[in-house]
Structure 1
Amino acid sequence: MPLIRHARHDEVGTLTAIGLRAWEGATSGLVDVASMRRLAENAFADFLTNNWLSVSLIEVDGRPRGWAARENFDENISDLWIDPDVQAQGLGARLLADIELRISNDGFETAKTKTHAQNAAAIGFFRKHGYGVSWLSTAYAPKLDRDVEFIGLSKPLAEADTELYGR
Structure 2
Amino acid sequence: MPLIRNARQDDEAALVQIGLLSWEKAMGAVGDPTSMRESALAAFRDFVSSSWLTIFVIEAHGTVAGWAACENRDDLITDFWIDPQFEGQGLGKALLADIEADIVRRGFDKARVETHAQNDGAVGFFEKQGYSVHWLSSAYQPKIDRDIQSMGLSKQLVSDDPGTYGPNL
TM-score range with shorter-chain normalisation? over 0.9
* 1:1-167 correspondence runs (5 A): 1-165=1-165
Deviations 1:9-28 (A, max 9, x none): 12111100011111111111
Cα-Cα RMSD:
1.5
Q: Alpha-carbon deviation of 1:61? A: 1.8
Note the residue ranges of structure 2 that are not aligned, 5 or more in a row. Answer: none
Query: Within 2, Cα distance between the matches of 1:78 and 1:109?
Result: 17
Deviations 1:139-160 (A, max 9, x none): 2334334321100000000124
Q: Alpha-carbon deviation of 1:162? A: 4.9
Deviations 1:35-74 (A, max 9, x none): 3222211111111111111100000122110000000000
Q: Alpha-carbon deviation of 1:91? A: 0.2
Q: Percent identity?
A: 52
Q: Alpha-carbon deviation of 1:34? A: 2.4
Kept in 1, the 8 Å contact 2:59–2:65? The answer is yes
Note the residue ranges of structure 1 that are not aligned, 5 or more in a row. Answer: none
What SS does structure 2 have at the residue aligned with 1:31? coil
Kept in 1, the 8 Å contact 2:29–2:118? The answer is no
Query: Within 1, Cα distance between the matches of 2:163 and 2:35?
Result: 56
Query: Within 2, Cα distance between the matches of 1:21 and 1:46?
Result: 16
Supply the AA of the counterpart residue of 1:28. Answer: G
Supply the AA of the counterpart residue of 2:110. Answer: T
Structure 1 pair 162–29 and aligned structure 2 pair: CA distance change class (3 A)? closer
Supply the AA of the counterpart residue of 1:119. Answer: N
Kept in 1, the 8 Å contact 2:29–2:119? The answer is no
Structure 1 pair 142–12 and aligned structure 2 pair: CA distance change class (3 A)? farther
Q: Which moved more, 1:98-107 or 1:26-35?
A: 26-35
Query: Within 1, Cα distance between the matches of 2:164 and 2:17?
Result: 51
Supply the AA of the counterpart residue of 2:141. Answer: A
